[in-house]
Amino acid sequence: MRLEVKNIHKSFGEKHVLNDVSFGVESGQALGLLGRNGAGKTTMLRIIMGVFDADSGGVLVDGQPIDRRHIKIGYLPEERGLYPKKIIRDQLQYFAALKGMAAPEARKAAAALLERLEMSEYAGKKLDVLSKGNQQKIQLAVALLNNPDILILDEPFSGLDPVNAMILKDVVTELIGKGKLVLFSSHQMNYTEEFCRDIAILNGGRIALSGAIREIRRSYERRTVVLSSPEAEKVERFIAGQASDITEKTERRQDAVTVTLASADKKMALLKRLAEQELNLDAFAVYEPSLNDIFVEYTEARI
């Protein structure tokens, strides 16, 4: 299955929130929808869910307009929408019924999900006695109850402690492995990087960058190297004095020296000169921008 959003425009009154937004994602993959606060991520996810209509553009599944009666979508909304005073087991049963599940099937699915999320002990408790992060896990269980084909997660990691974040990450990775199509928004680049092949960065209502993270990384010019050395100062001095013909810029921060080469093919020449001097190096690696660096580059001062 391939989900595509095509040329989406959406305004709220005078405010043009989404401007010609297009991206796609396939079953068995996750796409991270990234962007600064107010960039339009939740609006985009709600349009896919059918909560809002787009002003123009379409949401397509395998090239046809999405038919939400036949495609099961699980949604973890940003504002959690559960009943604080209701017993968790009953609450899951209720949402399962809304999704058209028969009671025995719902009981089985709810028990299995609570177990997987390490929440079984809370089944008989009211929601409001749970911590914020644990309430969120219940909300995730609701999203997963009917074994959806498409899973839409809006800020799933917010408020989770590192252990719960790990559980969520493992659950999502398992679901991707089972062929689910996952779309999520997040400000946490490390999780995005771990289980998304693709990203789409929204900025000022437009897609500023989209594609496979690995390819985006490789597209950066590979002429910056990072050297790590217990004698970083000496390395820095040597480069300034003896390698200025093949380098453009050198910066040192504690044990790390970052060198911008005159061109990418000067990498081995620099390494050779350093080796000839027998300078003590712990590491010599081409610098690859982190997703965080890429995010900042594409969202800073472009709104």
Ligand X SMILES: Nc1ncnc2c1ncn2[C@@H]1O[C@H](COP(=O)(O)OP(=O)(O)OP(=O)(O)O)[C@@H](O)[C@H]1O
> Does residue number 11 form part of the binding site for ligand X (CB under 6 A)?
no
> Does residue number 204 form part of the binding site for ligand X (CB under 6 A)?
no
* 15-44: contacts with ligand X (CB under 6 A): 17, 35, 37-43
- Binding mask 64-93 vs ligand X (x if CB under 6 A, - otherwise)? --------------x---------------
Q: Pick from 219, 217, 232, 222: which is nearest to 286 by CA?
A: 222
- Binding mask 236-265 vs ligand X (x if CB under 6 A, - otherwise)? ------------------------------
Beta bridge partners of 283: 228
C-alpha to C-alpha distance for 97 and 100, rounded to whole angstroms? 5
> Does residue number 208 form part of the binding site for ligand X (CB under 6 A)?
no
Q: At closest approach, how far in Å is the CB of 17 from ligand X? A: 4
Q: At closest approach, how far in Å is the CB of 3 from ligand X? A: 18
> Does residue number 137 form part of the binding site for ligand X (CB under 6 A)?
no
Q: At closest approach, how far in Å is the CB of 13 from ligand X? A: 7
Q: At closest approach, how far in Å is the CB of 44 from ligand X? A: 7
Q: At closest approach, how far in Å is the CB of 12 from ligand X? A: 3
Q: 112 vs 209, which CB is nearer to ligand X? A: 209
In Å, what is the CA distance from 40 to each residue of 16, 57, 111, 185, 207? Answer: 10, 15, 35, 10, 10
Q: At closest approach, how far in Å is the CB of 42 from ligand X? A: 3
Q: 41 vs 266, which CB is nearer to ligand X? A: 41
Q: At closest approach, how far in Å is the CB of 193 from ligand X? A: 18
Other beta carbons within 10 Å of 105: 14
> Does residue number 192 form part of the binding site for ligand X (CB under 6 A)?
no
Q: At closest approach, how far in Å is the CB of 267 from ligand X? A: 39
Choice from 2, 11, 12, 53 touching ligand X (CB under 6 A) = 12
Q: 18 vs 294, which CB is nearer to ligand X? A: 18
> Does residue number 223 form part of the binding site for ligand X (CB under 6 A)?
no
Q: 78 vs 90, which CB is nearer to ligand X? A: 78
Q: 247 vs 299, which CB is nearer to ligand X? A: 299
Q: Pick from 191, 206, 131, 118: which is nearest to 155 by CA?
A: 191
Q: At closest approach, how far in Å is the CB of 8 from ligand X? A: 12
# residues contacting ligand X (CB under 6 A): 11
Q: 37 vs 219, which CB is nearer to ligand X? A: 37
C-alpha to C-alpha distance for 129 and 273, rounded to whole angstroms? 64
User: Interface residues with ligand X (CB under 6 A)?
Assistant: 12, 17, 35, 37-43, 78
